[in-house]
Amino acid sequence: MSPEHQEVINRIRSSAETLRRAVEAVPAGKHAHHPSDGEWSAQETLIHVCNVVVMVHGLRIRRLLYETDPLFADYDEAANREASLQQPEPLSDLLHMIVAEHEQIARLLKTLPDAGWQRQGRHPELGTMSIEFLARRVAEHAEEHAAQIMNTASIL
């Protein structure tokens, strides 16, 4: 495995822990608090991250491992986040799912030959997506939202 691909795997694992630390920085009882109008609470952000890593990134990577040139369905993020907010899961459960999914993705990629990282599928609006692109997005997405939660924690 190339050093670049090993780094992506390491980043997938570490980004989940970065997210966990960010959530732990939010004062107790403030996870559902919106820092300002139009901004997501830490809880809402965590629901979003969990939904995306499981139902978008993880699913698409798995399909690319086993299908040839799959066509990816569009994902209605807002509707899924809103539905999840109607009966929110405990933060500890959400974090556990995110960490577990990051770890599972890392395990799947660990044995993938370098050439396999270029396997591609298509999204009707977003175009071509490779395993490498999606794997990088797993880590980047968690890191982006960890920073968002840390910003929320700093103003609560």
Phi, psi of 112 (to 5 degrees): -75, 125
Ranges of each domain in the chain: 3-155
Provide the pLDDT confidence category of residue 84 given band limits of 50, 70 and 90.
low
pTM above 0.85, yes or no: yes
The predicted-structure confidence for 10-49, as pLDDT tens digits, reads as follows 999 999 999 999 999 998 888 888 888 888 889 889 999 9
Provide the pLDDT confidence category of residue 154 given band limits of 50, 70 and 90.
confident
Domain 3-155 sits in CATH 1.20.120.450: yes
Q: Mean pLDDT across the chain, nearest whole number?
A: 90
Residue-level pLDDT at 13: 96
The string of DSSP codes covering the chain is --HHHHHHHHHHHHHHHHHHHHHHHSPTT-TT--SSTTPPPHHHHHHHHHHHIIIIIIHHHHHHHHSSSPBPPP--HHHHHHHHHHSPPPHHHHHHHHHHHHHHHHHHHHT--GGGGG-EEEETTTEEEEHHHHHHHHHHHHHHHHHHHHHHHHH-
Residue-level pLDDT at 156: 61
Residue-level pLDDT at 22: 94
